[in-house]
Amino acid sequence: MRVKVLFVSSEMSPLASTGGLGDVTGSLPEALRREGVDVRVIMPLYKRIKQSCASQLRFLRWSMIRLGWRTMYSGLFMMEVNGVPVYLIDNDFYFGHDSIYIDYSFDIERFSFFQRAVLEAMGEPMGFDPDIIHLNDWQTGMIPILLEAHYQSHGYHRQTRCLITLHNLKYQGIHGREVVQDLMDLPDSYMSETAALKDGVPNFLKAGIAWSSRVTTVSPTYAREIMSEYFGEGLDELLKAHQWKVKGILNGIDVDLYNPARDPEIAAAYSPKAWIRGKGTCKKALQEELDLPKLPKTPLFSMVTRLDSQKGIDLLLHVIDELLAEDVQIVVLGTGDPSYEKRLQDVQGRHPVNMRSMIQFDRHLARRIYAGSDIFMMPSIFEPCGLSQMIAMRYGTLPIVRQTGGLADTVKPWNKFEQTGTGFGFLNINAHELLYTAKEAAALYRNEKASWSKMVVSAMQGDYSWNRSAEEYKTLYREILDEAR
């Protein structure tokens, strides 16, 4: 019998996404369906989806949901994305905005409504009664408690179990007790430290961890790291108490989308068996596009990222002038913290010949950068999984990473004694370790062509698909259901 899974997420690529969560939702369910799992996605019907997919949306039904003092309309629509059935919760007051996320306090209310609407839609309304609800991050964390309080205690969905995936512990969904209790319509018995409260206040992510049957993270190393005070974001003791049910399952990437042999976005196709000429053409085209000197033997460093302190921008900025004093070129693409945006533009002002700061979000340019650069920098302070380093390796661009989280699980650092590796790594949160590693990578690129070529081929041949992850999740779903019987 096929396992029925409802994948609940605030994002899904290509419909509406801001990063890794959307990429996961856009890829993992599709891979799970290939494994024989009847998985379906449910997410908010954002304004951008209404505008871009109006002709594909099929209306199923509407209902009214009591939310505090309000009674709110909840519409249920459906469409198909790459063979995956996707349900969408409609409410213009909450989701009819240009941005996916708006204001933290309002987001608490918006996703309180969303979680209640998801449970209200299960069963007859959507024609699907899942065995497992697969939750993702704080925006879905209260569902296990809501499921028990409003449904299972009244005889509905008694066999349904929950699993929550932690993409980033930094964001937890914390708000005042009276507001959350009112929005969720929960009895006092659920407003306790054993249920929804963490240190006296409701914490959506804490509730999801404590009340789900299983907890997964997006890499094995991150699963271990979050048991420590430094990475645990205040939830490390809770996670240690529930350690038996925590498992790290590494994310993948869309290997069909990110395929240099068939990518229409890049200047020339290439493969692990024949990459030198094609990658050289892509590098020359990128240098022309960004008005950089066309120097094939000069190592071209790149960074495609959200400009956030988590991503190690401070480390790079601390040593970037010293790195640019070398015979290198650097391209940074991303948006985020305005102070980082300005400082990167200032760096370009000081180094107009060999530095480009592209303060924009452009997926198409990102692919050309992945293909056209030689070395990709990802010196994250912490990184639950990371997708960019896998995309870079897929395109034969060797990453420099801090060995944390998913970066440690996916990049094999260069070992000069064994002459093996798929990138370069450093351990400590130290700018000069990053600088030393970058200089080592540049020297290897210039002087050790045979070793460099071997690394590029190894990186390109790595298995970054979702198939392995889907198999692990399928096994985990079965374990949950076996325990429930």
Closest CA to 331 of 273, 385, 252, 392: 392
Residues 43 and 168 in one domain: yes
Query: 3-class secondary structure for 66-77?
Result: EECCEEEEEEEE
Is 384 domain-assigned?
yes
Domain that holds residue 179: 4-252+467-484
Residues 293 and 378 in one domain: yes
Residues 327 and 219 in one domain: no
Residues 455 and 473 in one domain: no
Residues 293 and 376 in one domain: yes
Residues 246 and 310 in one domain: no
How far is Cα 349 from Cα 329, in angstroms, rounded to an integer?
14
What's the structural domain count of the chain? 2
How far is Cα 389 from Cα 209, in angstroms, rounded to an integer?
28
Is 258 domain-assigned?
no
Across 68-79, b (16+ Cβ under 10 Å) vs e yields beeebebbbbbb
Residues 248 and 280 in one domain: no
Residue pLDDT tens, the chain, 485 long? 799 999 999 999 999 998 789 989 999 999 999 999 999 999 999 999 999 999 999 999 999 998 888 899 999 999 999 999 999 999 999 999 999 999 989 999 999 999 999 999 999 999 999 999 999 999 999 999 999 999 999 999 999 999 999 998 989 999 999 999 999 999 999 999 999 999 999 999 999 999 999 999 999 999 999 999 999 999 999 999 999 999 999 999 989 989 999 999 999 999 999 999 999 999 999 999 999 999 999 999 999 999 999 999 999 999 999 999 999 999 999 999 999 999 999 999 999 999 999 999 898 999 999 999 999 999 999 999 999 999 999 999 999 999 999 999 999 999 988 889 999 999 999 999 999 999 999 999 999 999 999 999 999 999 999 999 999 999 999 999 998 77
Residues 183 and 319 in one domain: no
Residue spans of beta strands (DSSP E) within 70-191: 70-81, 84-90, 132-136, 161-166
How far is Cα 480 from Cα 161, in angstroms, rounded to an integer?
7
Sign of CA dihedral 176, 182, 188, 192: negative
Residue 189 phi, psi (nearest 5)? -60, -25
Closest CA to 39 of 95, 90, 80, 89: 80
Residue 315 identity:
L
Is 260 domain-assigned?
no
Provide the 10 A C-beta neighbour count for residue 364: 10
Is 215 domain-assigned?
yes
Is 263 domain-assigned?
no
Is 298 domain-assigned?
yes
Residues 155 and 16 in one domain: yes
How far is Cα 317 from Cα 386, in angstroms, rounded to an integer?
21
Exposure of 129 in the CB half-sphere (CA atoms within 13 A): 8
Closest CA to 248 of 167, 141, 173, 132: 167
pTM above 0.95, yes or no: no
Across 240-270, b (16+ Cβ under 10 Å) vs e yields eebeebbbbbbbbbbbebbebeebeebbbbb
Q: Where are the alpha helices (H) located in 242-394, listed in sequence order?
A: 276-289, 313-324, 338-350, 363-372, 388-394
Is 183 domain-assigned?
yes
Q: Tokens at residue 430, please?
A: 């130290």
Is 266 domain-assigned?
no
What is the DSSP-derived secondary structure letter of residue 214?
A: E
The CATH number of the domain holding residue 363 is 3.40.50.2000
Residues 103 and 206 in one domain: yes
Query: For the chain, how long is the longest CA-to-CA vector?
Result: 71
Residues 347 and 222 in one domain: no
Residues 303 and 443 in one domain: yes
CA 417 to chain centre: 34
How far is Cα 269 from Cα 266, in angstroms, rounded to an integer?
7
Are 147 and 130 in contact, with CB atoms under 8 Å apart?
Answer: no
